[in-house]
């Protein structure tokens, strides 16, 4: 990745071999003209040399331009950023862009942008803010004439960063990856010519860890700030801080209309610009009485719409995979009955949730079935979806939305240190977003399965930001790495609960990533380099001590992707049998490793995965993650070693390495069930385990709270290892009197006696 300095150094070198023609003019005949005199290439030379007396940007003074000037430059004929002649396609797209509502406010935007360091911009979907505002910034901020700086625009999701970058590259008539590019995990599509970069907010955060002042940017645009992802919240705190130390940095916070004042207030009363959206009105209907069974009510409502409303597709929001599959089955059965009894058209139902393979997700875009007879009652499709359709996926043609008012949300309980998913009422903002999905192509209707008074009085305004609902161990490590020493006084927009913060600090201290004063240790600094949870990072970094870093590298990658084993509804038994083929008697971690090794030895991987009920996507993903982690290890000079497979200690070493990261996630057998050490929670082993033999002590990867408390992905370990690998954590006298303490003391005695024998 190139820093601003690199870019400065690289530029002059680049022009040498191309004295006669600039880089992307390959088909052009060699010109007699000295390229440094070519006004259209003026931007390729450092600002101090550039006079910009001619060319499309003639007379443009940084932060002193107008919409009129920019419009003239945009009208061509030459592209002010690439020097090329504009294509016909460019002018076609330009016509469309000028038809958006936002250009009318270009001057208003420029004035505000020029006057203030930080501004807030709110606009509904369809306003074009994500594609247009960054371009407006380019024409005024002129980052390429300002020491080759860049303009960044962050997105919460990878697909958004990619697709918007592609769109804007087309709008600006440049090749994607040149003047306009994107940067997401596993893919950096930028070059030394890039002046506008779309990126995920997590990616910008990563960059900030090595460049605390974000020096390579002259302007940072945080888009979709209302979503309040963890990364967005940390970035906002960071940017507020950086803004003071870098008066030259411009910041724009973009958000949907809600909560604008909160953003303004947080950024020292930054000015606000509101741009209108382009959506159709949506009529809202409430139920007169509260519904007792929202699933039943939802299905009933869908059928009523189908029987009585004019043409248009339906979107129903439910909470999870099982519920959605169930609802689809019931809807199909009811529609069949309805068709027999009444004069209605056909209706096709589609399930939509994140873990569905992409191919199946795509099916929701199939057109609705046609009516049975021309002019008869309309055919329709109904998409039954999780929250994924609220933000990540938009489906055109939706006219009716059915909103029961619930979604699964992550909650964190710092007292028992457990993150879990809970079906909870949605917020007003969420309800509005859902309703908006009905008005994308024409006026629509939204049926809320709750009363108007419940909406007004019971729903909270905004969903709580993620930072208030998460374990913050990773976040605290990131903040420390960002150079923020005083976490207590860090200016969060919504400060997390002190107990959550304390838990995170405590966890990092146990992992030896923070010392007793709360400072980053050498191990902590290394751990922060990895895009992993602290426990995984520590396990990986210490694995060479157990002679198995190659294997732990694979395992770490496997543990950081979801859903390795596939278990289709109609083939569970077969899937379970297949899983047994890979089972290792000591537990699930080693089983996953067996899967990975078998996968790597396979030639036709997709077919092999189908046959063995494994997710090809997950394994491929794990492989990508592994490559990324391996590069980081090589950069940090962490050794990659293996124990010879024929050695008896091959698997034992891996289990010990597991303990070095997960010693806080250990459970001990207590009668029929297990008890987690330290927290004393009664837990059961998740039924998905391959472990069959009796095991007194287990290390587990996650605690899942569903119908019962489960520990999932478990491996058998020996208590001696705990004393050996984490002596500070497993000091028996720190434990309350009880079975765990008794066992630890027994183990200590055993070790002592054995050592005494050895000494004799």
Three-state SS annotation for 69-126: HHHHHHCCCECCCCCCECCHHHHHHHHHHHCCCHHHHHHHHHHHHHHCCEEEEEECCC
Beta partners for residue 719, in sequence order: none
Among 108, 244, 283, 322, indicate the residue that binds DNA (CB under 7 A): 322
Q: How far apart are CA 453 and CA 289, in angstroms?
A: 10
**Piece of 103-111, 583-591, 700-708, 715-723 that binds DNA (CB under 7 A):** 700-708
- The answer to whether residue 407 forms part of the interface with DNA (CB under 7 A) is yes
- The answer to whether residue 231 forms part of the interface with DNA (CB under 7 A) is yes
Helix ranges (DSSP H) in 613-738? 616-635, 649-662, 719-725
Question: In angstroms, what is the minimal distance from the CB of 207 to DNA?
Answer: 8
The number of angstroms, rounded, from the C-alpha of 274 to the middle of its chain's C-alpha atoms is 27
Question: In angstroms, what is the minimal distance from the CB of 456 to DNA?
Answer: 24
**Piece of 7-15, 27-35, 320-328, 438-446 that binds DNA (CB under 7 A):** 320-328
Closer to DNA by Cβ: residue 344 or 614: 614
Closer to DNA by Cβ: residue 394 or 563: 563
Among 15, 24, 408, 428, indicate the residue that binds DNA (CB under 7 A): 408
Closer to DNA by Cβ: residue 294 or 565: 565
Question: In angstroms, what is the minimal distance from the CB of 292 to DNA?
Answer: 22
Among 355, 451, 670, 681, indicate the residue that binds DNA (CB under 7 A): 355
Among 127, 178, 409, 549, indicate the residue that binds DNA (CB under 7 A): 409
For residues 413 to 432, the per-residue mask of contacts with DNA, x marking binding by CB under 7 A and - elsewhere, is --------x-----------
Report the b/e string of 104-135 with b at 16+ CB within 10 A.
ebbeebbebbeebbbbbbbbbbbbbbbbbbbb
**Piece of 272-280, 493-501, 706-714, 716-724 that binds DNA (CB under 7 A):** 706-714
Closer to DNA by Cβ: residue 209 or 641: 209
Question: In angstroms, what is the minimal distance from the CB of 447 to DNA?
Answer: 21
For residues 635 to 674, the per-residue mask of contacts with DNA, x marking binding by CB under 7 A and - elsewhere, is ----------------------------------------
Among 707, 733, 736, 737, indicate the residue that binds DNA (CB under 7 A): 707
**Piece of 285-293, 539-547, 702-710, 732-740 that binds DNA (CB under 7 A):** 702-710
Cα–Cα distances (Å) from 579 to 217, 562, 687, 690, in that order, read: 49, 16, 13, 8
**Strands, DSSP E only, in 156-256?**
180-184, 187-189, 196-200, 217-222, 250-255
Question: In angstroms, what is the minimal distance from the CB of 9 to DNA?
Answer: 25
For residues 121 to 160, the per-residue mask of contacts with DNA, x marking binding by CB under 7 A and - elsewhere, is -----------------------------------xxxx-
| Other Cβ atoms within 10 Å of 682 Cβ, number | 13
Q: By the 8 A CB rule, do 490 and 221 touch?
A: no
Q: By the 8 A CB rule, do 106 and 67 touch?
A: yes
The number of angstroms, rounded, from the C-alpha of 483 to the middle of its chain's C-alpha atoms is 23
Q: Which region, left, alpha or beta, applies to residue 680 given φ > 0 means left and ψ of -120 to 50 means alpha? A: left
Helices (H) and strands (E) in the chain, counts: 27, 21
Question: In angstroms, what is the minimal distance from the CB of 355 to DNA?
Answer: 5
- The answer to whether residue 621 forms part of the interface with DNA (CB under 7 A) is no
Among 65, 194, 301, 319, indicate the residue that binds DNA (CB under 7 A): 319
Q: Which of residues 544-603 bind DNA (CB under 7 A)?
A: 560, 562-563, 565, 567, 572, 576
Among 688, 696, 718, 729, indicate the residue that binds DNA (CB under 7 A): 688
- The answer to whether residue 410 forms part of the interface with DNA (CB under 7 A) is yes
Among 686, 726, 740, 743, indicate the residue that binds DNA (CB under 7 A): 686
- The answer to whether residue 309 forms part of the interface with DNA (CB under 7 A) is no
- The answer to whether residue 708 forms part of the interface with DNA (CB under 7 A) is yes
Q: Which of residues 253-272 bind DNA (CB under 7 A)?
A: none
Question: In angstroms, what is the minimal distance from the CB of 536 to DNA?
Answer: 9
Question: In angstroms, what is the minimal distance from the CB of 226 to DNA?
Answer: 15
Q: Which of residues 8-67 bind DNA (CB under 7 A)?
A: none
**Piece of 6-14, 65-73, 276-284, 352-360 that binds DNA (CB under 7 A):** 352-360
Q: By the 8 A CB rule, do 304 and 287 touch?
A: no
Q: How far apart are CA 277 and CA 281, in angstroms?
A: 11
Question: In angstroms, what is the minimal distance from the CB of 724 to DNA?
Answer: 30
Q: How far apart are CA 649 and CA 557, in angstroms?
A: 22
Which is nearest to 496 in space by CA: 475, 467, 525, 462?
467
Structure letter (DSSP) for residue 246:
-
Among 90, 148, 267, 353, indicate the residue that binds DNA (CB under 7 A): 353
Which is nearest to 712 in space by CA: 696, 690, 693, 729?
690
Question: In angstroms, what is the minimal distance from the CB of 201 to DNA?
Answer: 7
Question: In angstroms, what is the minimal distance from the CB of 183 to DNA?
Answer: 8
How many Cα atoms sit within 13 Å of 149 on the Cβ side?
Answer: 22
For residues 186 to 205, the per-residue mask of contacts with DNA, x marking binding by CB under 7 A and - elsewhere, is --------------x-xx-x
Q: Is residue 403 helix, strand or coil? A: strand
- Tokens 């932060």 correspond to what residue? 63
Closer to DNA by Cβ: residue 102 or 690: 690
Q: How far apart are CA 166 and CA 190, in angstroms?
A: 12
Question: In angstroms, what is the minimal distance from the CB of 320 to DNA?
Answer: 3
Q: How far apart are CA 734 and CA 15, in angstroms?
A: 67
Number of residues that bind DNA (CB under 7 A): 48
Cα–Cα distances (Å) from 536 to 140, 366, 633, 661, 757, in that order, read: 45, 41, 13, 6, 36
- Residues whose CB is less than 8 angstroms from the CB of residue 348 and which lie 6 or more positions away in sequence, other chains included: 366, 368, 369, 379, 380, 381, 382
Closer to DNA by Cβ: residue 79 or 387: 387
Q: By the 8 A CB rule, do 301 and 315 touch?
A: no
Which is nearest to 473 in space by CA: 237, 330, 662, 631?
662
Among 99, 374, 375, 687, indicate the residue that binds DNA (CB under 7 A): 687
Closer to DNA by Cβ: residue 79 or 689: 689
**Which residues are near DNA by CB under 7 A?**
156-159, 184-185, 200, 202-203, 205-206, 229-231, 319-322, 353-355, 386-388, 392, 407-410, 421, 474, 531-532, 560, 562-563, 565, 567, 572, 576, 686-688, 704, 706-708, 710
């Amino acid at each position: 990745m190139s820093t601003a300095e690199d870019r400065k150094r690289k530029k002059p070198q680049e022009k040498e071999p191309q004295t006669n023609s600039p880089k992307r003019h390959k088909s052009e005949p060699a010109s007699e003209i000295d390229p440094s005199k070519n006004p259209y290439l003026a931007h390729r030379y450092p600002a101090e040399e550039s006079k910009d007396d001619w060319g499309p940007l003639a007379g443009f003074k940084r932060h002193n331009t107008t919409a009129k000037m920019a419009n003239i430059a945009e009208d061509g004929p030459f592209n002010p950023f690439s020097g090329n002649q504009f294509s016909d396609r460019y002018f076609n797209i330009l016509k469309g862009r000028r038809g958006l509502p936002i250009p009318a406010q270009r001057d208003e935007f420029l004035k505000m942008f020029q006057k203030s360091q930080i501004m807030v911009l709110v606009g509904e979907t369809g306003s074009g803010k994500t594609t247009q505002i960054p371009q407006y910034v380019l024409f005024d901020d002129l980052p390429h004439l300002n020491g080759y700086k860049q303009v960044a625009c962050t997105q919460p999701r990878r697909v958004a960063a990619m697709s918007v970058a592609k769109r804007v590259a087309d709008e600006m008539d440049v090749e994607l990856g040149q003047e306009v590019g994107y940067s997401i995990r596993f893919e950096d599509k930028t070059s030394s010519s890039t002046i506008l970069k779309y990126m995920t907010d997590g990616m910008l955060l990563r960059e900030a860890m090595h460049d605390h002042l974000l020096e390579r940017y002259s302007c940072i645009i945080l888009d979709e700030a209302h979503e309040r992802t963890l990364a967005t919240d940390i970035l906002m705190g960071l940017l507020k801080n950086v803004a003071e130390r870098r008066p030259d940095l411009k910041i724009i916070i973009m958000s949907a209309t809600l909560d604008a004042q909160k953003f303004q207030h947080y950024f020292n009363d930054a000015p606000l610009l509101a741009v209108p959206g382009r959506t159709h009105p949506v009529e809202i209907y409430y139920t007169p009485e509260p519904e007792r069974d929202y699933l039943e009510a939802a299905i009933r409502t869908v059928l009523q719409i189908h029987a009585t409303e004019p043409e248009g597709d339906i979107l129903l929001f439910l909470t999870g995979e099982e519920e959605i599959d169930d609802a689809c089955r019931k809807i199909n059965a009811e529609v069949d009955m309805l068709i027999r009894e009444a004069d209605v058209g056909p209706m096709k139902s589609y399930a939509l949730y994140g873990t569905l393979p992409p191919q199946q997700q795509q099916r929701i875009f199939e057109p609705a079935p046609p009516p049975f007879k021309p002019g008869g009652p309309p055919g329709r499709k109904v998409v039954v979806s999780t929250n994924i359709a609220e933000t990540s996926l938009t489906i055109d043609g939706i006219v009716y939305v059915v909103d029961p008012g619930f979604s699964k949300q992550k909650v964190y309980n710092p007292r028992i240190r457990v993150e879990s998913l809970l079906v909870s009422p949605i917020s007003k903002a969420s309800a509005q977003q859902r309703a908006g999905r009905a008005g994308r192509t024409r006026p629509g209707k939204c049926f809320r399965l709750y009363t108007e008074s419940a909406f007004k009085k019971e729903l909270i305004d905004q969903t709580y930001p993620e930072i208030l609902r998460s374990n913050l161990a990773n976040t605290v490590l990131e903040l420390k790495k960002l150079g923020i020493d005083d976490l207590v006084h860090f200016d969060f927009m919504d400060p997390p609960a002190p107990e959550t913060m304390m838990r995170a600090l405590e966890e990092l201290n146990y992992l030896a990533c923070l010392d007793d004063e709360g400072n980053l240790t050498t191990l902590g600094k290394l751990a922060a380099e990895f895009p992993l949870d602290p426990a995984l990072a520590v396990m990986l970094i210490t694995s060479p001590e157990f002679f198995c870093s190659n294997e732990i590298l694979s395992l770490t990658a496997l543990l950081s992707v979801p859903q390795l084993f596939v278990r289709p509804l109609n083939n569970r038994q077969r899937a379970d049998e297949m899983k047994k083929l890979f089972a290792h008697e000591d537990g699930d971690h080693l089983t996953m490793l067996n899967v990975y090794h078998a996968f790597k030895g396979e030639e036709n991987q997709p077919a092999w995965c189908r046959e063995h009920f494994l997710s090809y996507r997950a394994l491929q993903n794990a492989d990508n993650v592994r490559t990324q982690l391996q590069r980081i290890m090589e950069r940090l000079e962490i050794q990659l070693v293996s124990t010879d497979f024929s050695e008896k200690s091959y698997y034992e070493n891996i289990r010990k390495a597991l303990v070095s990261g997960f010693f806080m996630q250990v459970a001990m057998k207590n009668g029929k069930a297990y008890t987690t050490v330290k927290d004393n929670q009664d837990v059961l082993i998740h039924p998905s385990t391959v472990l069959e033999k009796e095991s007194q002590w287990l290390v587990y990867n996650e605690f899942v709270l569903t119908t019962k408390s489960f520990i999932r992905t478990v491996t058998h370990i020996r208590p001696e290892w705990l004393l050996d690998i984490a002596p500070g954590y497993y000091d028996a006298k720190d434990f309350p009197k009880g079975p765990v303490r008794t066992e630890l003391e027994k183990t200590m005695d055993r070790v002592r006696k054995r050592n005494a024998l050895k000494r004799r």
